[in-house]
Structures are given as structure tokens and as C-alpha cells.
Homo-oligomer: A and B are copies of this chain.
Amino acid sequence: MPETFPLDHLECVWEKPDTLTETRFHYCPGCGHGVVHKILMEAVKELGIQGDTIGVAPVGCSVFAYHYMDVDMQEAAHGRAAAVATGIKRVLPEKYVYSYQGDGDLAAIGTAETIHAANRGENILVIFINNAIYGMTGGQMAPTSIIGMKTSTTPEGREIATQGFPFKITELIAMLPGAYYVTRQSVHTPNAVRSFKKAVLKAFQAQKEKRGYCLIEVVSNCPSGWKLTPVDANKWMEENMFPVYPIGDLKVEGKLGERMFTQVTKN
């Protein structure tokens, strides 16, 4: 197909960043993980920090992130990415260190490591993909699954009485003084993607300036786990997840935003 385009008349305005490897993503069609990978690596490229960046992959669908992201990477045990990132950052304080984690990884088994890294103000970036489900293990309930959501371990829908509430760990982290920048994003529309990218750039800048802990939650889809087509999944996400996980900044430059007050008031 390349031949069909007389490319000399055109300038390329978007192409896959070369900070992504050639390997094809193993993700299901339409899965948000791919979009996030792409934008994250685009940011790394734009900032020219490929040679100074070390990533930490979680256990979850993105366990193979290191197959795609062309930076030095470590694969952490389930839930321990924040600890692994801390270990790296403390011995290499001048490098950029990020972890990439799902909701099961970060908000269930990794709760303690996540919160303590934030509380210590570890100078790292955590990318948190909240798809409200355990994608990798076949669609079990996540701490972030919303009320009534059917999963393979909540066949009747998640109910408060026995399974508790969707866990808004991002709100908690925003409360911690060690957290410098905390934001909730999505990547399901072009504008959402643009906004997410700005957030990534901002977070890396903060890390450069040694401002402390940055967390970017991405409310994302899991078409396979949700048993929806990608397009429907994104719709379902807007309609059902955004009310629980409203998009926007929670904390910027160490200051809690409007949103947090609303959160507290609503609670």
C-alpha cells in the first residue's frame, strides 16, 4: 500500500512514535491500554528522555508493556510496581521513573505500596489504568468495579452490602501531602487523548523538577471483560463510569482542586 500515496506532497502530522517497538500489541481490539502506551511513549519521545527513562510494568493485561515501550523496563510482581519504582528511583534519582498499573494491581493487592509511595512523595509518575475489572484473569470484579456491575465474580452485579463501594483511591491519594499532581483522564476521544498527553508532559516536567509523586488515572475500557464492542464499551464507560470517576484534575502543583471539595461534600 505505501506506493499508493505520493508522499512527497505531504507532511506527516502523526505517526507511531519510534519510542514504541515494532511489536504488535497483544491487547484486544479497542482496548485503552494501546492508546495509553502510544501517548506515553509519544511524550517520552517529545521530551527526548528515552535514554533517561525507566518504566515498571505491572501484572495485569499490560504485563508485557516492555514488549512495546522502547525504554529500559522492569516487570514487577502483582501490586508491587510502586515499590519497584521506588527502588529504582532511589538509586537513580536523576532518571525518570514511571510505573504503569491496572486497578487490580494498584488499588487491590498494591494498595499499601501505592499509598506509601505517594505519602513519601516519591518522585515518580504512576499511570493507573482503571477499567473497573480484572482484564487479564478473565473479568473478575476489581476494587473499582461500579455498583451493579456484572463480572465473573459478581454474577448478580456488585453489591455494596458484601463487596463494598467502588474504591476511589485517586481521591485518597490526592489528599496526601506527598502527592504533587493527581489527575483523572480518559483516552476514548481525540480530545481526551490530547488532554491525557498534556497530563503526561506535565507529570514528567514535575518529576524533572523533583516535585514529588504524580498520579494519572485513566478511566479506560475493557471491551472483552465488559463483553461489549469497543464502541459500545466507550459509550458504557461515559454513561456509567464517568459519574463515579469524574474526569479532571484533583490536585495540581500540590494544591487540591475544586473537584476534591465537591467530592468531600458529596460524600
Contact = CB atoms under 8 A, between A and B. Distances in A.
A116 interface: yes
A101 to B, nearest CB: 14
A228 interface: no
A4 interface: no
Q: How many copies of the polypeptide does the oligomer hold?
A: 2
Nearest to A123: B161
Interface stretch (A32-40, A169-177, A229-237): A169-177
Interface residues of A, number: 30
Contact of A111 (B116, B177, B256, B263): B116
Interface in A145-184: 160, 162-165, 167-168, 171-172, 175-178
A246 interface: no
A210 to B, nearest CB: 9
A91 interface: no
A193 interface: no
B267 A264 contact: no
Contacts of A168: 175
Interface of A: 108-112, 115-116, 119-121, 143, 160, 162-165, 167-168, 171-172, 175-178, 256, 260-261, 263-264, 267
